[in-house]
Structure 1
Amino acid sequence: MTATLSRETAGVPTPPVRIVHLGLGAFHRAHQAWFTAQATDAAEWGIAAFTGRSPAAAVALAAQDHLYTLTRRGADGDRTEVVGSIVEAHRGDDLARLADLFADPRVAVVTLTITEAGYRLLPDGLPDVADPVLAADIENLRDALAHRDPLGEVAANSALGRLLLGLEIRRRAGAGPIAIVPCDNVPDNGRWLRTGLIATAGMVDDLLAGWVAEQVSVVSTSVDRITPRLSEADAAWALESRGDACPVVAEPFADWTLEGDFPAGRPDWESAGARFVDDIEPWEQRKLWLLNGAHSILASAGPLRGHETVAEAIADPACRDLVERYWGEAVALLPEGIEHADYRGALIDRFANPRIVHRLEQIAADAATKTRYRAATVAERTLDAGRVPDASLEAVAAWVAGVIAGHRAPDSQDDLIDQALAADDPVARLLEVVSPRLAGDAASLEAVRSRVAALRAADPVASAT
């Protein structure tokens, strides 16, 4: 095995910390950290990253000077590079270091990759006060701020709670304004998170809520780069050949579109290929509905036909047909001037890349929330336009059929899903989980019901029982 990665041997400098990231994982390392490392002013912008549930990535990165390799895996070969933009990595519950960073006026940006469900916000952006973890954080913060206690010992276990704790510390320190940049696949994620931040802050302390409203810019983003779960073979190769215990493999394609202000500055991400726009909504919808929507369809319909990877599923004519019919409905909702024909063609090529082993079970995590924001939203908007949402309802039905058949991954909505499965009419109840409106529309419900039956008949496991 070669020596462990180090900045000295790799000749990689250590930029000062000016970005905090919550949710250290493979996608962050393949996307925001990579864009930052590629920027022309990368030497000025280091990242201090905090893990989510598991501290494993922080431990591995700390042992190798926080360097890691990114392999861009194309159909015709690999290109591997060392990425040095992360300069600190911490456990998610290291709130003392988080507090120090938020109090530092040099820190200008906070990015997040915590998944849609990790925000613990309702579809309208308001806090989910029924969530016990978020409710406990709100109570802890409220009590501490009401007594103006020092905040070093306050418990915060949710990402939103930790973010508000950091912002209160920044307010008290007089460290100035800051930009928050959510990088998860939630429609209108900047305005959605801003609503949640201000509303949750208002439940904690009026001074904090006012300061957040005035001093915190929440940037909307659309992010795109297929980053499959690392295989054992890739992990072993990176460790043996590069001394890297924390490698990432991703497709060559990468896209980042942003809308919003950065009152304390930001990296020159444009020089790395990022796009800044005045109105992100059409770009966000194109990506969310076409790429992520297709991924969700393949993750639901693929296992019903015996497939395990995106490449396998998109090669199945039945799965591809459903994806392309769904795309036809989705693009009819996009405004004129947003290119989509070439984008769809590129997506087919990306999905079919035989060297990116993107497992459907990875995509299927938190499928209920994903289905709500993708296929169900397209179906609802198609109804609003006076058209019949045939393919998007079939896409929703694929999720319902998969759940009934037992093709399930961990989901933040598991309690509701279990209740629906135990009901007299599980199809109606599952549809209600992702869209009360569609469940309440008789024609949509019957369309989903008939498609669930057809999809279940194609399931090699279900049809054999």
Structure 2
Amino acid sequence: MRILHLGLGNFFRAHQAWYTAATPGAGDWPIAAFTGRSAEAAVRLNAQHGRYTLLVRGPERDQAEIIGAIDHAYPASDDQAWRELLASSRTAVLTLTVTEAAYLRGAGGGLDESRAAADVAAWLRGDPVRTVPGRLMAGLAERRVSGGGPIAIVPCDNLPANGEAAARVVLDFTSLAEPALVPWIRDNVSFVTTMVDRITPRTTPEDVRTAAELTGFDDAVPVVTEPYSEWVLSGVFPAGRPEWEAAGARFVADVTAHEQRKLLLLNGGHSLLAYAGGPRGHETVAEAVADPECRAWLDQWWDEAGRYVPLPPGELAEYRAALVTRFSNARIRHKLAQIAADGSQKVPIRVLPVLRGEVQAGRIPPGAVRILAGWIDHLRGLGVPVDDAGAKPFQERASAVRDVLALLVPDLADDDALVAAVERATLTSGGAPR
């Protein structure tokens, strides 16, 4: 059997590919991986026969491992290979790491038809499609025609209920472009929900040298990651799967609690440090968490967010302690600019559940307010540069906090106390975080 993957980035190679390589019988599950955009990663990996070095960077030293799970890498532009591989009955699992923005979700969680319109038109003309929902539909259409049989699609991006989210945009796209395919997808495609966790910073030239020194392998594309890793999955695999649990993955009936824990505490904490730490001159997570003021803000946010994670207090306390250890690993240069990217997609799912819950309980939450204020400062040009395809409508309104909230969280935009709190917390309007 075979795994097909879309989104050939560092996280995938440190996470899903690593789990697959660590399973018994890994050779029976070769991975065919496609880049999300650029062809460069595919070219470099193929020159190395798919092998690469995983540098596990602890607080004191690095450990290096050669990973050989990728059988072949393909550029995003190779539409024929994509459709043929997804159509093949040998392909039993399709995993995705494409970022939250790539699902083209609208405000209600369904497909944003305006952003998908060009791709729908391309399909109807018989031209290649380029968006993630479009590519999934195109491959599944080929699979139905060829009799490829059932398949599991496993999104590994930081979206709540990511299996359901992926299913919805794929079915929405298919309803517009190829309605007759919808029943086949419902009957033959399983969308598995997952929670993934492993910090994976961008690779530097120094990392390339370190990998070569430790292994003797002249690797052009090594990956750096932390010792910690977590993968929790819920769903069915109608065509089979690797024995990922042997490598530490967990299969559960419902990932919601673990998903909320990670999304609010880790990802939300990262967003706080990115938007509040950047203006204080910090470049990495470790620098920001070493700042006593940022550290206090982080605890404040965690106190708020923890109320919305349905796990025992002791388990949450252990997780928070583990996060501090992970964030403090100065040898992992996890840049705040990387975390701050695509804030228009990240802030709603990392912050708004807590904000709404606290406001409904009659509280103005200073932690959530600080993240919103920091993000608005970011949109106004303070801190790390904006790298966000969805930022424009927010930037156009960024001069007025109420206007940003009206677009981001319209049900709370008329809350004068909340608007005033966010205004006071912004640095660009003369206030200071408190």
Q: TM-score range by the shorter chain?
A: over 0.9
Distance in 1 separating the partners of 2:334 and 2:429: 23
State the TM-score, normalizing by the size of structure 1: 0.89
Give aligned-pair identity as a percent: 45
Name 1:149's counterpart in structure 2. none
Distance in 1 separating the partners of 2:357 and 2:123: 39
SS at match of 1:399: helix
Query: 2:369 aligned to 393, 401, 407, which one?
Result: 393
Do the aligned partners of 1:375 and 1:393 also contact (CA within 8 Å) in 2? Answer: no
Do the aligned partners of 1:304 and 1:458 also contact (CA within 8 Å) in 2? Answer: no
* CA spacing shift, 1:196–1:77, aligned 2, 3 Å: same
Name 1:185's counterpart in structure 2. 158
Do the aligned partners of 2:4 and 2:31 also contact (CA within 8 Å) in 1? Answer: yes
Do the aligned partners of 1:400 and 1:431 also contact (CA within 8 Å) in 2? Answer: no
Report the AA paired with residue 15 of structure 2: H
Name 1:435's counterpart in structure 2. 409
Name 1:448's counterpart in structure 2. 422
Report the AA paired with residue 153 of structure 2: I
Distance in 1 separating the partners of 2:322 and 2:85: 40
* CA spacing shift, 1:174–1:448, aligned 2, 3 Å: same
Query: 2:14 aligned to 22, 30, 51, which one?
Result: 30
Do the aligned partners of 2:279 and 2:382 also contact (CA within 8 Å) in 1? Answer: no
Name 1:9's counterpart in structure 2. none
Do the aligned partners of 2:425 and 2:432 also contact (CA within 8 Å) in 1? Answer: no
Deviations 1:148-195 (CA, angstroms, capped at 9, x unpaired): xxxxxx311112111110000001111111111111101111111111
SS at match of 2:396: helix
Deviations 1:9-64 (CA, angstroms, capped at 9, x unpaired): xxxxxxxx611111100000000000110112212111100001211110000001
Alpha-carbon shift at residue 320 of structure 1 (Å): 1.0
Q: Are positions 1:213 and 2:186 aligned together?
A: yes
Query: 2:392 aligned to 391, 396, 415, which one?
Result: 415
SS at match of 1:257: strand
Matching of residues 136-285 of structure 1 within 5 Å: 136-144=118-126, 154-239=127-212, 241-285=216-260
Name 2:277's counterpart in structure 1. 302
Deviations 1:186-212 (CA, angstroms, capped at 9, x unpaired): 111111111111121111222211111
Do the aligned partners of 1:218 and 1:260 also contact (CA within 8 Å) in 2? Answer: yes
Report the AA paired with residue 398 of structure 1: G
More off after superposition, 102-111 vs 198-207: 198-207
Deviations 1:317-338 (CA, angstroms, capped at 9, x unpaired): 1111111111111111122437
Alpha-carbon shift at residue 384 of structure 1 (Å): 3.4
Do the aligned partners of 1:224 and 1:255 also contact (CA within 8 Å) in 2? Answer: yes
Cα RMSD (Å) = 1.8
Report the AA paired with residue 346 of structure 2: K
SS at match of 2:268: helix
Distance in 1 separating the partners of 2:387 and 2:207: 25
Do the aligned partners of 2:152 and 2:238 also contact (CA within 8 Å) in 1? Answer: yes
Query: 1:69 aligned to 50, 53, 57, which one?
Result: 53
State the TM-score, normalizing by the size of structure 2: 0.95
Distance in 1 separating the partners of 2:247 and 2:107: 32
Alpha-carbon shift at residue 415 of structure 1 (Å): 1.8
Alpha-carbon shift at residue 457 of structure 1 (Å): 5.3
Do the aligned partners of 1:124 and 1:192 also contact (CA within 8 Å) in 2? Answer: no
Deviations 1:91-139 (CA, angstroms, capped at 9, x unpaired): 01101111111121110111111111011112433111111xx212212
Name 1:10's counterpart in structure 2. none
SS at match of 1:52: coil
Name 1:11's counterpart in structure 2. none
Distance in 2 separating the partners of 1:401 and 1:415: 14
- How many equivalent pairs are there? 429
Distance in 2 separating the partners of 1:120 and 1:269: 29
Report the AA paired with residue 400 of structure 1: I
In the alignment, structure 2 segments of 5+ residues that lack a partner are: none
In the alignment, structure 1 segments of 5+ residues that lack a partner are: 1-16, 145-153, 460-465
